Amino acid sequence: MIKKNLYSILVALLLLYLSLTNSEKFQKPPLVNIPFMDKIVHFGMYFLMMSVIIIEHRKNLTNSRNLFLLALIPLSYGILMEILQSTLTMTRSGDFYDALADAAGIIVSVFLWLMIRPALKKEIR
């Protein structure tokens, strides 16, 4: 099971580290002031996580129901990270909007796969 999910596990461990590490390690460069940058980062991290999960399980994703059930894993993980940030760290706090950005990244990855999958099936035949 670990071998089948190796990349997903590695991404999850990276997100765990990034979520629970002292926030002072990640200071913004003074010249970069993009509004809502933290939400964009959350979107990207969970888009990556869901995309890796999809790639690792693409042969088993025969219907949309399985895909949506699989999406509950990174969604639950993102919510858990927000809870852990607010309870285990001194320099971080859980943020509902971070969880929404996580969910948005997951949803975009799922819908992108649903759009790409038919084209991939045609090319394989």
Mind listing the pLDDT tens digit for each residue in 10-47? 999 999 999 898 766 666 666 667 778 889 999 999 99
Of 122, 102, 118, 87, whose CA–CA distance to 47 is shortest?
Answer: 102
Task: Select the more confidently predicted residue: 31 or 87.
Answer: 87
- Contacts of residue 15, Cβ cutoff 8 Å, sequence gap at least 6: 45, 46, 49, 77, 81
What confidence category does residue 117 fall into, taking pLDDT thresholds of 50, 70 and 90? Answer: confident
| Greater model confidence, 125 or 17 | 17
83 neighbors 94 (Cβ within 8 angstroms): yes
Band of residue 60 on the pLDDT scale cut at 50, 70, 90 = confident
Residues 6 or more apart whose Cβ sits within 8 Å of residue 39: 97, 98, 101
Tokens standing for residue 24: 């002072």
Encoding tokens for residue 2?
Answer: 């670990």
d(CA 115, CA 96): 29
The predicted structure's pLDDT at residue 10: 96
